[in-house]
Structure 1
Amino acid sequence: MKRLWRLLRDRRGAVALMAGLSIIPLLTMAGAAIDLTRLYILHSRLVTAVDAAALAGARVINELDRDTQIQRWFWANFTRDRPGVSTGFIGADVTAFTISVDETSRAVRVRVRAALPTTVLRLFGQDALYASVDHTARRQDRGMEIALVLDVTGSMAGTAMTTLRNSATELVNIIYGPNETITNLWVSVVPYTSTVNIGRGRSNWLAAGSLNASAYGSTVWRGCVFARSQNRQDETDAPPTTTPFQPFLWPSTVNRYSPNLGDNEWTNSSITEPNPESPPSDTTQNNLGNNAKGPNLGCGRAILPLTAARSTVLNEIANLRATHRGGTMANLGLQMGWATISPRWRGLWGSATLPQNYDTPYMDKVLVLMTDGNNEWHDWDGGAPGACRSTGSSPPCRTIYVSDGDADMTAYGRRRENRLGLPNNTAAAALAEINARMSRLCTSIKANGVILYTITFNVTNSTTRDLYRNCATQPEYYFNSPDTAALQAAFREIAGQLANLRLVH
């Protein structure tokens, strides 16, 4: 009996038993700490991936492959093991992925649920932990004044012009979405060649007495103007009230080189100028090409000033046509693009309130400049080096072509006139001077807070590409497009960047 009593009073085995039993909750806590830490890491990555997916969806809310792009952005951030599986970051399995779009509020909602296999906790019957993220990105349209400055020179004829129209149209559609107008959004379209068309109805912008109607023969001044190159006014946003324009005129060269009509730029009886209000078809315009004549030779369509209606902007883009002769003076297109959004021109384009001030809250000013070539005077040789065509259908050329610097008429006149005031008036010196003026103009525009995007299309000249790269607000805002697909991609990327987004929780 005493031996039994001693055995019952012995506590040494109980301590060991209690110690063993206490390990179970400690292991459970340690396992929970490990797995919960992994769950926290998973949730953080899931938040990043869903945010990126929702923002990408809002950016492309109007595109047909929107949902595909949403999933692509999600998996790019959630790093799945391989395409086609649902297992991603740290072995988590995506068990639910839902996309919903509210067209009214222009919001994209992405909801994702992921299961994380446990390590220690599975020993205690908990096989998985779950993380869920539900985020919405709403496409917010900040107020913007956007100038599309587009090269419509003769080299853009054919497929290039079609691609440009399609690309600019897509940019506009992405920015507007399904809306005809958006509060505080305006777009201008500025076509340029070797000159820019301010519009026939703006003759009051011309210097007094400078428009000689009789000089245009049986037609009229279409609206193109000479560069205001005196004192480098072609590098400023000076309005016509400060520095008026001179009307562009390509004078006849009859008898200039020899007394036959083969040297004639135009005659009153054979003017082939298209109607600017009713642009010809691409085929008609392209067939005309360098054979066009007239006092407005090389003059493209008029500027469309800041406009709120999407349909009006799209109609203007649809009517763009390649315009031959003269050359390319992108600096003048850039200058007039700036003029459409510079507050110094407020009230001059037709609206008493536009363009707005640079520091207007929640407003951005954006200029997109596109070209397919170098700044240059075009020196056309009549289509056949060394000879003119027959007199009856002859385009402007000399009896025997001579490369003497007297190139086509541009907004700076003929190169031989040396309106740039060059000490050595060569083609290379003229190009360098135009590029220098354009570079300084880019600097002035950016100094006023305008966001500058630049695009070169099918341009191989490294000097030109560097000029446009340096002109852009930052290097990432310059796009070199070696082909039509790249040109479309450039406009699409710019449109996406212009769609200002804000995450809504």
Structure 2
Amino acid sequence: MTRHFFSLSRLTDNRDGAVAIIFILVAVPLLLAVGASIDFIRAYNDRIDLQSAADSAVLAAASKYKHGMPEANISSTVNAFLSANGAPETAIAGKPEVSSDEAELCLDVADAVPTTFMQVANIQSVPISIRSCAALPGVKQLEIALVLDVSSSMIEENRFAPMQTAVSGFLHAFSSNAALVDKTKISIVPFSSRVNIGMGNTAWLQSYNGAAAVPKRWTDPKSVYTSSSYKLGYWIDGVTPVMSTSTNYYWMGCIEPRADVEVRDAGAIGTYGVSDAPPTTSAFVAMDANPKSGTSFCPPPITPLTGDFTYLKNVVTQLTSEGSTRLDAGVVAGWYTLSPKWKGVWGDKSSPAVASDSVQKVMVFMTDGEMNTKYDPSGKFDWICSQSPSSACNKVATSAMQAACSAMKKSGIEIYTLSYSSDADVVNIRNCATNTAHFFTASPATIKTVYETIAAAIRGDTLRLTQ
């Protein structure tokens, strides 16, 4: 009988071999799994980068879109921005899709990320695809009224120059945007004691209480300001005079608030005091018709809606600061520049558009103060105070302001408001706004940021990612 003997060393050798085989069988899938996870992480990171590039591309294409634009033109913008924003050359953009109502532009972009470890399993690449959509602003027209408090406190408290810088930045936010510059018109409405319609619009005036419709002070200011301390100048419209000294400005062209005229005539604010009626419906009364306030400080003229941003920026630079604060006058004058009832009144190029889904109307109202009517019969006297010559008439004027704000909002005008100092009437300024999210507080240090925020909010309504 043959006997077989196994040595301990041979048994050990056999066990080590088995372990090695088992290790190899386990390690290969494990390494493959680790390698696959690395490949997928690379693919995931590339997908994030591709999404960012596609978002930039679709926003750029949306900003340049015009009605009926050929697909090839859209694709050209898309491809240029994909490349500029780091999309790989292997990325393939599908045909841009414009929704049937031209409200949205969508884009599909695909790529394949080469693998490293997964090639062991004969997987050469990981496919990635993304979809990006943006709202199209092509059918949206913007009309914005910038209503600016230029009362004397603005210059006295060093708030004026920061405001000018902030408003100039606001204008730049639209003039530098290729999508919006041709679709945006902006008016600038300076206000203090009154508002100024400009000497080019004296046909809007009526004779009142025996006084001429157009005062001689306006047409011949040197006959009133005879002192050598006064210097005659003109607004950038070339026709509205100003007599100025080293400290004061006396502009020509201001009107009495309609509310004041109605209170003087009938004892209460009537049909037109807080309405957007054009002068063809209800003519204006020159400020000089009020002998108690006829020579009060008056701001520079209103600039009606225009897309000439160079002119608008010049307007902001040339503004002056004097006078008290009639919040209601500023609000109503802002409405005049936006109301479709004024179509053709300001001139064809400045005509407000008829309200529709394709037109967005916005008022941005800024003040550093509270209602400041003049109620002292022995000095400056606003007719709105004629029934109660005391500070109580501030409430009447404030009520008129709120009535105008409410009517504007009902007509579809979006209202942003800024309280520009701790002295401002925060409650009534906030109540005038469309909602609390449209109300801001500002200081000289923050007003530029506030105007930037409002500009971004307005732009965001017309150009944004939707997916």
User: Aligning the two structures, in what range does the TM-score lie when normalised by the shorter sequence?
Assistant: 0.5 to 0.7
1:233 to 268, 272, 277: 272
Q: Which amino acid aligns with 1:321?
A: T
Superposed CA deviations along residues 294-328 of structure 1, whole A, max 9, x for unmatched, are x332222111111121121122222210122xx21
How far apart in 2 are the matches of 1:146 and 1:455?
15
TM-score normalised by structure 1 residue count: 0.59
Q: Quick check: 1:377 aligned with 2:373?
A: yes
Q: Quick check: 1:501 aligned with 2:463?
A: yes
How far apart in 1 are the matches of 2:352 and 2:286?
24
1:170 Cα deviation from its structure 2 partner: 1.7
Give the alignment's Cα RMSD to 1 decimal: 4.8
1:151 Cα deviation from its structure 2 partner: 0.7
Question: What does residue 31 of structure 1 align with?
Answer: 34
Question: Given the superposition, is the C-alpha separation of residues 373 and 356 from structure 1 closer, same or farther in structure 2, using an over 3 Å criterion?
Answer: same
Question: Given the superposition, is the C-alpha separation of residues 40 and 174 from structure 1 closer, same or farther in structure 2, using an over 3 Å criterion?
Answer: same
2:335 to 334, 338, 362: 338
Question: Given the superposition, is the C-alpha separation of residues 234 and 39 from structure 1 closer, same or farther in structure 2, using an over 3 Å criterion?
Answer: farther
Q: Which amino acid aligns with 1:501?
A: L
1:110 to 85, 90, 103: 85
Superposed CA deviations along residues 160-206 of structure 1, whole A, max 9, x for unmatched, are 22222222122112210188x93232111111112111222323323
Q: Which amino acid aligns with 2:190?
A: P
1:447 to 402, 407, 410: 410
Q: Secondary structure at the match of 1:171?
A: helix
Q: Which amino acid aligns with 1:491?
A: Y
Superposed CA deviations along residues 195-229 of structure 1, whole A, max 9, x for unmatched, are 11122232332346667339945554932222222
Which sections of structure 2, spanning at least 5 residues, go unmatched? 5-15, 62-76, 89-114, 221-251, 260-268
Instruction: Decide whether the 8 Å contact of 1:455 with 1:478 is kept in 2.
Output: yes
Alignment of structure 1 residues 59-458 onto 2, 5 Å: 109-111=84-86, 142-157=140-155, 159-177=158-176, 182-207=181-206, 212-213=211-212, 216=215, 219-220=218-219, 222-229=252-259, 230-231=269-270, 233-249=272-288, 251-252=290-291, 295-324=294-323, 327-351=324-348, 354-361=351-358, 363-378=359-374, 408-410=380-382, 413=383, 415=385, 417-418=386-387, 426-427=390-391, 429-458=392-421
Q: Which amino acid aligns with 1:472?
A: A
Q: Which amino acid aligns with 1:368?
A: V
Superposed CA deviations along residues 417-476 of structure 1, whole A, max 9, x for unmatched, are 12xxx6xx641x322332232223222222222221211112345xx2122223222323
Question: What does residue 475 of structure 1 align with?
Answer: 436
How far apart in 2 are the matches of 1:106 and 1:210?
66
How far apart in 2 are the matches of 1:374 and 1:333?
12
Instruction: Decide whether the 8 Å contact of 1:149 with 1:368 is kept in 2.
Output: yes
Instruction: Decide whether the 8 Å contact of 1:190 with 1:302 is kept in 2.
Output: yes
Q: Secondary structure at the match of 2:86?
A: strand
How far apart in 2 are the matches of 1:502 and 1:338?
28
Instruction: Decide whether the 8 Å contact of 1:107 with 1:136 is kept in 2.
Output: no
Instruction: Decide whether the 8 Å contact of 1:331 with 1:437 is kept in 2.
Output: yes
1:339 Cα deviation from its structure 2 partner: 1.2
1:244 Cα deviation from its structure 2 partner: 2.3
Number of aligned residues = 364
Question: What does residue 492 of structure 1 align with?
Answer: 452
Question: What does residue 392 of structure 1 align with?
Answer: none
Q: Secondary structure at the match of 2:165?
A: helix
Which sections of structure 1, spanning at least 5 residues, go unmatched? 5-12, 59-101, 254-264, 266-294, 380-403
How far apart in 2 are the matches of 1:106 and 1:37?
26
Question: Given the superposition, is the C-alpha separation of residues 134 and 358 from structure 1 closer, same or farther in structure 2, using an over 3 Å criterion?
Answer: closer
How far apart in 2 are the matches of 1:445 and 1:46?
45
How far apart in 2 are the matches of 1:444 and 1:29?
70
1:149 Cα deviation from its structure 2 partner: 0.7
Question: Given the superposition, is the C-alpha separation of residues 473 and 203 from structure 1 closer, same or farther in structure 2, using an over 3 Å criterion?
Answer: same
How far apart in 2 are the matches of 1:208 and 1:352?
29
Question: Given the superposition, is the C-alpha separation of residues 106 and 153 from structure 1 closer, same or farther in structure 2, using an over 3 Å criterion?
Answer: farther
Q: Which amino acid aligns with 1:226?
A: E
TM-score normalised by structure 2 residue count: 0.63
1:498 Cα deviation from its structure 2 partner: 3.1
How far apart in 1 are the matches of 2:438 and 2:457?
10
Question: Given the superposition, is the C-alpha separation of residues 199 and 139 from structure 1 closer, same or farther in structure 2, using an over 3 Å criterion?
Answer: same
Q: Which amino acid aligns with 1:152?
A: V
Question: What does residue 284 of structure 1 align with?
Answer: none
Q: Secondary structure at the match of 1:479?
A: strand
How far apart in 1 are the matches of 2:210 and 2:280?
17
